[in-house]
Amino acid sequence: MITDTRERTDGRRGRLVVIGAGGQVGRLLAAGPAAVAMGRDDIDIGDAGRVERALVDLTSDDIVVNCAAHTAVDAAETDVEAARLGNEIGPANLARATARAGARLIHLSTDYVFPSSRDDGDPAPLEPDDLDPEAQPASVYGSTKLAGERAVAEIDPRATVVRTAWVYTGALGGTDFVATMRRLEAERDTVSVVDDQIGSPTYAVDLAAGLLALADRPDLTGTTLHATNAGSCSWFDLARAVFVGVGADPERVTPTTTAAFPRPAPRPAYSVLSGRSWAAAGLPPLRDWRAGLTAALAADGVTGPGV
């Protein structure tokens, strides 16, 4: 059951109910005024009964932001049921709860809903309607996330789906890509990173701010939006930028290919999500990925020359 009585200090009515409050983005959202943090111990989204009980007092004034997901991309290839529970069945359960209460649902999704590459070879950023709606993602993770998007839209037509990509906090001790590069810089002389996967690195702090701006817009319902930091790069480019940002020699990062490091789940070769739909909705754009990375490294007191 939701049990938060703090008063709002912003313009929104009701509560911001954050599902997946233990994750990178959820933790940031849950720190705000009148936010209700719901982690794994509070709600199991894959269990319809537990969702119903946890959200029994949800009202039409509330906004539910679903940051919970099964994000073990490679493990999903063999543990399909776990991926379905977290990425398809769970969001559907939440959509039933918000539809029943008349609450708003903002559901986070991913660039992995798109195929590994574009058949037409077009390098233009991807918008929600760029690909055939029946096109299938290349991985179980992507397929279950796409199924979750569709289930949410069908069950609660007022829900908003927000696709994002390459999310990180970069915090020391973390497991995201930026945090991993910081750790490897201290442990190894050189690091090999793939240079044939292109995307938009997204600082979790910037994404959380964007989601809060979306929550302040009750008119933006029943749509799919893309929210990433602006610009694009390869994982190799991002790794070099991290090294520069911590004052290390970027030449210690060497390029390699995806083929040289085979993984169970295919990764999108190009998944740069356009911010066109986000801007058209009148939402503030997320800053350039380089500025986001500089802010992330500064948050931990890194004093290198920047990126």
The answer as to whether 192 is a domain residue is: no
128 assigned to some structural domain = yes
Q: Could you read off the pLDDT of 32-52 as tens digits, one per residue?
A: 888 999 999 999 999 999 999
Domain interval for residue 115: 16-168+201-230+271-287
Domain count, the chain: 1
Is-contact 224 157, C-beta < 8 A?
no
Is 11 within the bounds of a domain? no
Domain-located, residue 102: yes
State pLDDT tens for residues 260-274: 989 999 998 998 999
Asked whether residue 182 is assigned to any structural domain, the reply reads no
Rounded mean pLDDT of the chain?
91
44 part of a folded domain: yes
The residues carrying an active-site annotation are: 141
pLDDT for 115 equals: 81
φ, ψ of residue 178 to 5 degrees: the values are -65, -45
Would 275 be classed as within a structural domain? yes
What would the pLDDT profile of 98-144 be if each residue is shown by its tens digit?
999 999 999 999 999 988 776 666 778 888 777 766 677 999 999 99
3-state helix/strand/coil string of 175-203: CCHHHHHHHHHHHCCCEEEECCCEECCEE
CATH number of the structural domain spanning residue 118: 3.40.50.720
Would you list the DSSP string of 220-289? Answer: --S-EEE---BS-EEHHHHHHHHHHHTT--GGGEEEE-GGGS--SSPPPSB--B-SHHHHHTTPPPPPBH
Contact in structure between 152 and 104 (CB atoms under 8 Å): no
| Distance set, CA 214 to CA 71, 94, 151, 218, 279 (Å) | 23, 19, 21, 8, 11
Lowest mean pLDDT among 62-76, 107-121, 160-174, 212-226: 107-121
Tell me: pLDDT of 239 over 60.
yes
∠ Cα 267 300 248 (to 5°): 70
Lowest mean pLDDT among 157-161, 196-200, 298-302: 298-302
Residue 180 included in any domain:
no
